[in-house]
Amino acid sequence: MQVAIIGITGYAGMVLYGLLKKHPGIIQINLYQHDLIEPTPLEELAPQYENTNKAVQPYDSAEIIKNNDAVFFATPAGVTSKLAQPFLDADFPVIDLSGDFRLKNGAEYEKWYHKPAADNDELAKSYYGLADLSTNPGKNYIANPGCYATSVLLGLAPLVQSDLIDPDSIVIDAKSGLSGAGKQLSESSHFIQSNENLQIYKPNEHKHIPEIMAQLKQWNPKVDHIQFMTTLVPINRGIMSSIYVKVKPGVTEAMIKEHFENVYHSSKFVKIYNHLPTIKGVVGTNECHIGLSYNPTTHYLLVDSVIDNMIKGAAGQAIQNFNQLFAFDADFGLQLNPVLP
């Protein structure tokens, strides 16, 4: 197969390109940039690719559809929605790493992303691809979940789906490495600000909140709200979501573990541990590691869910969705080992 990547200069696009080069079902990767006027050597846009003899082409939807079997959008939020129409009209396979098609209501998107939304009829044509828990209903436009959303939803799914918790008790303390803030430099990502520091950001207004809520309500309409807080930590990659929930009367620790094992027993990428996992165990992989700690006095459960935000939270899950769509083995291109030490 031949595939296209639109957007190669951001972190997600770079990681995606590296992973796709190892995919046994892909023979060629064509690169495009939405803001180019003429073909440009890849090394001019991303110097780390020096001597690759690869050119990045200007965006042309007709050419992309003609010369590729699928396209990955690794573009910023607010860009993909302006480019998606030709692919939707052609029912062409798209895996979209931006947030532009994750929400089904344009007004909701504009409230959280502060950008113009795609039309609601376009949004309805997309499928929210939480790859470890969802089966594609036959849609070719796949909205890849956000990194925080992936970590949180995988951690909550067995509890919410089986109605084991008080739906009003969900509190999420999520911490992310600096790559989660994107490549664009900001005050919070300056070395002098981020080093030896913790920074809470976007309290109660993070754009992943509505997609988390949408999926939780789909699993269990009783979930009316969550308390979600994000912290920037001075590491390169990784997310740790510490999720606190109060279990219902009569629910035991053994029942909780059994539900997690049942939900993920056949998953190649979600692993349940008897200890609380750390970020180091997942960096460089497409895995989500989950650990549980139950307090019998307070009846609160801690779910510790960790992922690599650039792989499981972006490029790796995009390849999972690509593999599902084209009936490849789930781990094609994703047979990865953690980066240690």
Give dist(CA 214, CA 127) in Å, integer.
13
Q: Which of 287, 282, 274, 272 shows the shortest CA–CA distance to 331?
A: 287
Distance CA 8, CA 74 (A): 7
Query: Do residues 85 and 92 lie in contact, with contact meaning Cβ atoms separated by under 8 Å?
Result: no
E strand or H helix that includes residue 59? none
Which residue pairs, CB below 8 angstroms and at least 24 apart, start in 185-188? 188/232
Residue 153 · residue 215 · CB < 8 Å:
yes
Structure tokens, 82: 């302006």
CA 208 to chain centre: 10
By CB atoms closer than 10 A (0-12, 13-18, 19+), residue 275 is exposed
Q: How many Å is the maximal CA-CA distance in the chain? A: 65
User: Please, which contacts does 86-91 make with residues 24 or more away whose CB atoms are closer than 8 Å?
Assistant: 86/61, 86/62, 87/61, 87/141, 88/122, 88/125, 88/141, 90/65, 91/140
Active site residues: 147
Q: How far is CA 277 from CA 24, 96, 271, 289, 305, in A?
A: 31, 29, 10, 6, 8
Strand order in the sheet with 94-96: 40-41, 55-58, 28-33, 2-6, 70-73, 94-96, 141-143, 126-128
Instruction: Tell me the torsion sign for CA atoms 77, 82, 85, 87.
Output: negative
